[in-house]
Structures are given as structure tokens and as C-alpha cells.
Homo-oligomer: A and B are copies of this chain.
Amino acid sequence: MSAASALRSDPALAGAVRDAVGRLGRRMRHHAAHPELSLGQLAALRTLERRGAMSPGELAEHEKVQPPSITKMLIRLETLGYVTRAPHLADRRQVVITISETGKALLDDDRRRRDAWIAQRLRGLEPEEIAALRAALPALEKLSRS
């Protein structure tokens, strides 16, 4: 049996993913190292760092949220100085959002803190479980964007 058909034929698997992801998201929301930013705001900032400057509309598309939600995230991020706003050169309806140096520094700091947080949590996992988690990340990422 192939890996794909094995997964499809296991009806408990999808439910387990859903439950675990929901619970983990809830826990992360509370134990986040930088409580002044939500998970969504942090993910958006991370996207801006990785993919470079873009318009709010493009960012909304990337993050799989509606435009009004991005507007709110950006108000927050701009107020805190983590992103900057500039007029689009050719189309005056558009806006170009760029991560600031402060924003980059925050992400760096955030990574260090999360590394410590998750490292502590991982002490409760077996080495094989940790390796499995690591190996599944590309799939999880892809799944979350598909």
C-alpha cells in the first residue's frame, strides 16, 4: 500500500490532525513569547520578511485571510513600528508594505525565544518523534497553504 492510500484509508488521521492543530494553536496563542503580536500578525510579518515587500492585497492572499483582516493586522504592525507603508509608484490605489529593521529584529528575537520554548517542550518527546515532526514540516506548510 502506498503512503498516500494508507493515509486516505485511515479515517482517524484527519481528525487527529484537526484536533491536535486546534489544541496546539490555542496553547501557542497563550504561550507566545511576544504577547503583543497575535499568531496571525506574526505570520504576516514573517511572510513580509521572507517574500519581501508587497501590497496588503497580496499579503492577504498569502495569509489566506480577507482584506479587512490584513488591514487590522497592518494597523497594529505599523503602530508598533514593525512595518512601513509607502505609496505604489504606478498605481495610487495601492500601498507597498515593507518590514522595518525593528520588525526584523523582533523576528530574530522571537526565533530565539521560541527556540527555547519549544526546546523545553521537546524534552518530553522521544527523539524519533522530534525527527518525525521536523520531517513533516514541509508537508504541514504546504497543507496550510493549499
B-contacting residues of A (Cβ < 8 Å)? 2-4, 6-8, 10-28, 32, 39-40, 42-43, 46, 63-65, 107, 110-112, 114-115, 117-119, 121-122, 124-125, 127-146
Contacts and interface: CB of A to CB of B under 8 A. Distances in A.
Most B CB within 10 A of own CB, among A25, A43, A110: A25
A22 B15 contact: no
20 contacts: A2-B127, A3-B128, A6-B131, A6-B134, A11-B115, A13-B137, A14-B111, A14-B117, A15-B110, A16-B141, A17-B118, A17-B133, A18-B32, A19-B141, A20-B144, A21-B28, A21-B144, A24-B140, A130-B139, A132-B139
A141 to B, nearest CB: 5
Given A8-B119, A133-B139, A114 B23 contact: no
Given A130-B3, A130-B7, A14 B125 contact: no
Copies per complex?
Answer: 2
A47 to B, nearest CB: 8
A12 B25 CA distance: 18
Contact of A21 (B25, B117, B121, B135): B25
A137 to B, nearest CB: 5
B14 A140 contact: no
Given A128-B3, A130-B139, A65 B26 contact: yes
Contacts of A132: 132, 135-136, 138-139
